[in-house]
Amino acid sequence: MTQPLSVAILGASGRMGRALVDATLRNDRLTLSGAVERSGNPSIGIDAGVMVGQSASGVPVSDQLSEVIRAAAVVVDFTAPGATLAALEACTAAGTPIVIGTTGFTPEQKLLIAQAAQSIPLCIAANYAIGVNVALKLVELAARTLGSDYDVEIVEAHHRHKVDAPSGTALAFGEAAAAGLDRDLLSNAVYGREGQTGARKRETIGFATVRGGDVVGDHTVLFLGDGERLEIAHRATNRANFANGALRAAAWLVGKPAGLYSMRDVLSLND
């Protein structure tokens, strides 16, 4: 019988961290080998299983990042850019694969991630939900098929505590549409409109952001033509779908050669 894969969860007491701990403990093919939080976090020392409402797991939440990473077959990180880079350094030193769900990286930080992927297998995605990644593929296909006669607008909504906007997933949808249209998103994105903005430019890919309540994550990509409108939408009602997708990526990543991977690789959506 194959031994369960040992997984370490970083940012364990956060919204996604708790979902990941819970999903790992419920998965017979995985075992929780570590749960990490920053020093001073009130969850330090608490059993990770008890923290998420399950029975004791025997794994206390720890602030010993390097030690936990060395003991794991794979690391899953949903924290913040600075914390992710620290984890990336520890993973590189230990030769441990890492799945990154953190968003909001600067171009310079993205370069550091790409450099780390030369030494270890690394998977990074704006969203690990299986449905979202299928929707990304559909958006690219729709953009390529409909072409420049259709205007593209992206609307996203998240809970009041989310700190970045637009969401990483919304930006991923924008990149998918831009790829299908052979456009550069950076040059054509519009992130807000107010006042006398003038007529919409054909090349624009627009973003609208909503924040409030406990919305887990809603994304809608609109292709607006003359006489018809196509909408591709994804609604997340809880974080289990993100967690299960990230754990699927973690299991897939183990044993892969060093490189920078995405959920398109995990789900064989590159063709």
- The strand pair at 151-158 and 217-224 is best described as antiparallel
Report CA-CA distances (Å) from 132 to 49, 202, 218: 28, 26, 10
- How many Cβ atoms sit within 10 Å of the Cβ of residue 258? 14
Nearest-angstrom CA–CA distance, 83 and 105: 11
Per the CB < 8 A criterion, the answer to whether 189 and 241 are in contact is no
Q: Which two tokens stand for residue 260?
A: 């920078």
Phi, psi (rounded to 5 degrees) for 175: -65, -40
How far is the C-alpha of 142 from the C-alpha of 154, rounded, in Å?
A: 14
- Please name the residue that has the structure tokens 């019988």: 1
Catalytic residues: 158, 162
> Cα(209)–Cα(227) distance, rounded to whole angstroms?
26
Exposure on the CB side of residue 231, measured as CA atoms within 13 A: 9
